[in-house]
Structure 1
Amino acid sequence: MLSSENFHQLARREKNGQARIRLLALAHLQEGKSRDEVAESLKVSVSSVNNWVRRYCAEGIDGMTTKPRSGRPCALSESQQAQLIIFITEQKKQAVKLKGRDVQDYIQQHFAIIFELSHIYRLLKQLKVTLRR
């Protein structure tokens, strides 16, 4: 079932915490522990362990990495996002110091969409835009 890969060594080198736990689960299974024991020792559900084993069997080590998730679509359309980028770029050219609150107000006034301030910064990161010059 599980290959002769050294899952402990792979887990030590893995930077992503979720992938590390998946690799540790495989290491414990390779050592002969039951899926119930693995789930209990890693504080995860047995169904999670079963899913990880299924993914490993289907995809190999690549199946242990965290896959990107689509998440909720952005409330701003692509044209609104482009308009926001233009606004920020022009403000930076004019040496205006923008803050997240300024971007939040702009979005609310021009698009009638209310964002939490913390989401403004996530949106800017997603758009690859900074408020600094």
Structure 2
Amino acid sequence: MVKKKLKRRGRKAILPSVAIEDLQAALVAETRPHVRKRLIGLRAVLSGASQAEAASLVETTTKAVALWLRTARRSGWQTLMRRSSGRASRLRLPDAERDNLIKCVQSALSSELDASARLRLQAMSRILQGERPVAVAEAMHVTPTSVFGWLRRLRKEGVAGLQQHIPVRQPCIDADSSELRHLATRERNTQVRRALLAIALLAEGESPHATGLLVGGSDKTIQRWLGAFREGGVEALRRPVHLGRKTLLSKAQKAELVTFIRANPWLSNRELWALIRQSFGADYTTGGLTRLIKHDLGFVRKQGRFVSA
């Protein structure tokens, strides 16, 4: 009981010179999401919450809350309203320059723009206000590679560079992406639908890696779909793919074995193994032979003889 009281008293004494009323007044006037997150976390700690509870409240890490507390102790809580913590914006710009960029982006967004330019400017506006580039990419359904490319263009050319037309890379396949997307909406098979969307994205100029991130597939899967489409078109994407190991016996050899087992049901597993090895040159393990008999040939052993499963 004594330990709990000391712990609570210690939380309140973390920042004795900071009043919760001051934080509340700052929150009323503050609009930047990343600054509001810091002030809310600081207010929660001063109200008696632990650092872990404050981190959970504002959806961040305990390490970030501890950093905010150290900054407030050393330089005052007002510092949290001026400085960026961590690598949230990736721009590392002075406050005056950042505010000027935000005004320029907002002014550009109020003018007439095509859809792609508006998307780029909206992403940069969110990043300048403190959101992480990866989170912005996920929220706006674009790849992180695209967002970081827009950031580099913003550094070099400013807001005007984002308003210009950015040429799309040369597609790695020549196909009608609108037709592929239309086929994908009508496709019932989830795997085929993903493959059609992947080919449509590749035809629009996306890289295989970015396409994999968008449709949920590895680089190897995207390359396999691309190769199948080049070889046989849309129908090749609908063919079932068997990625397992090839069987040791062909269909004709299995059919011959079925006929032989039906004529000799009292055959033992060892005799069957010797027959397969001598006739077809296939050397099965004990488990492999059992799976062959049951799953491929359709027999089970009952009372010492083979019967149909």
Q: Percent identity?
A: 14
**Counterparts of 1:7 and 1:27 in 2: how far apart (Å)?**
10
Give the RMSD, CA atoms, in angstroms.
Answer: 3.7
Q: How many Å separate the matches in 2 of 1:110 and 1:58?
A: 41
SS in 2 for 1:39: helix
Q: Indicate conservation of the 8 Å contact 1:2/1:30, yes or no.
A: yes
The equivalent residue for 2:158 is: none
CA distance in 2, matches of 1:106, 1:21: 47
**Following superposition of structure 1 onto structure 2, how do residues 1-133 of structure 1 map, counting pairs within 5 Å?**
1-3=174-176, 4-5=179-180, 6-10=182-186, 12-14=187-189, 17=191, 19-30=192-203, 33-41=206-214, 42-45=216-219, 47-64=220-237, 65-67=239-241, 71-74=246-249, 79-88=256-265, 106-112=268-274, 115-116=286-287, 117-125=290-298, 131-132=308-309
Q: Residue type matched to 2:240 in 1?
A: T
Instruction: Provide Cα deviations, 1:32-60, integer angstroms capped at 9, x if missing partner.
Output: 54322112232311x44234224313321
Change (3 A) 1:51 1:110: closer
TM-score (norm 2): 0.28
Give 1 or 2 for the bigger CA radius of gyration: 2
Structure 2, unpaired ranges of 5+: 1-173, 275-283, 299-306
Residues 108 and 114 of structure 1 are in contact (CA less than 8 Å); yes or no, is this contact kept in structure 2?
A: no
**Normalising to structure 1: TM-score of the pair?**
0.55
Tell me the residue number matched to 2:80. Answer: none
Aligned partner of residue 185 in structure 2, secondary structure: helix
- Tell me, in whole angstroms, the C-alpha distance in 2 between the residues paired with 1:86 and 1:9: 52
Q: Which amino acid aligns with 2:230?
A: C
Q: Match of 1:99?
A: none
What's the CA shift for 1:106? 2.3
Mapped partners of 2:247, 2:270: distance in 1: 19
Contact conserved, 1:29 with 1:38, CA < 8 A, in 2?
yes
Assess if the C-alpha contact under 8 Å between 1:8 and 1:27 holds in 2: no
* In structure 2, C-alpha distance between the alignment counterparts of 1:57 and 1:83, rounded to whole Å: 43
Distance 1:73 1:54 in 2: 26
Q: 1:110 to 1:35 in 2, by over 3 A?
A: closer
Q: Residue type of the partner of 1:108?
A: R
Letter in 1 for 2:263: I
Q: Which has the higher contact order (CA 8 A, sep 6+)?
A: 1
Q: List runs of 5+ in structure 1 lacking aligned partners.
A: 92-104
**When the two structures are aligned, how many residues end up with a matched partner?**
109
